[in-house]
Amino acid sequence: DVKVTQSSRYLVKRTGEKVFLECVQDMDHENMFWYRQDPGLGLRLIYFSYDVKMKEKGDIPEGYSVSREKKERFSLILESASTNQTSMYLCASSLRIEYTEAFFGQGTRLTVV
């Protein structure tokens, strides 16, 4: 079974802190994605990566950066956390070809206080 693992289920951070959200997949997938999910807004794409060290901005990249040094790991970085970044963060991975589904991690509920 494909497994996508996010490092934390719940996280509480202070305003201004640098926050790292880690995601690891075990199926050798080329593509990895970071989304945030907010009520009424669905899943919004923050960043995605289609290969090691390759990244593309999604629809809401402001305030975030990413790192993909190894194929299996994709990190989301909040450079200076703000309260409006309180949200559920979902990581996903997939093969590169368009007709395969993405597999999701369990999500990280981040609260910035």
Partner 1 sequence: AQKITQTQPGMFVQEKEAVTLDCTYDTSDPSYGLFWYKQPSSGEMIFLIYQGSYDQQNATEGRYSLNFQKARKSANLVISASQLGDSAMYFCAMREAGTASKLTFGTGTRLQVTL
Nearest to 34 by CA among 14, 63, 2: 63
113 is an interface residue for partner 1 by CB under 8 A: no
10 is an interface residue for partner 1 by CB under 8 A: no
9 contact partners, CB below 8 Å, separation of at least 6: 106, 107, 108, 109
Q: Which of 41, 65, 70, 79 binds partner 1 (CB under 8 A)?
A: 41
DSSP character at residue 83: G
45 burial type by CB count under 10 A (0-12 exposed, 13-18 middle, 19+ buried): middle
52 is an interface residue for partner 1 by CB under 8 A: no
42 is an interface residue for partner 1 by CB under 8 A: yes
Which residues contact partner 1 (rule: CB under 8 A)? 31, 33, 35, 40-45, 48, 50, 54, 56, 58-59, 88, 90, 92, 94, 96, 98-99, 101-104, 106-107
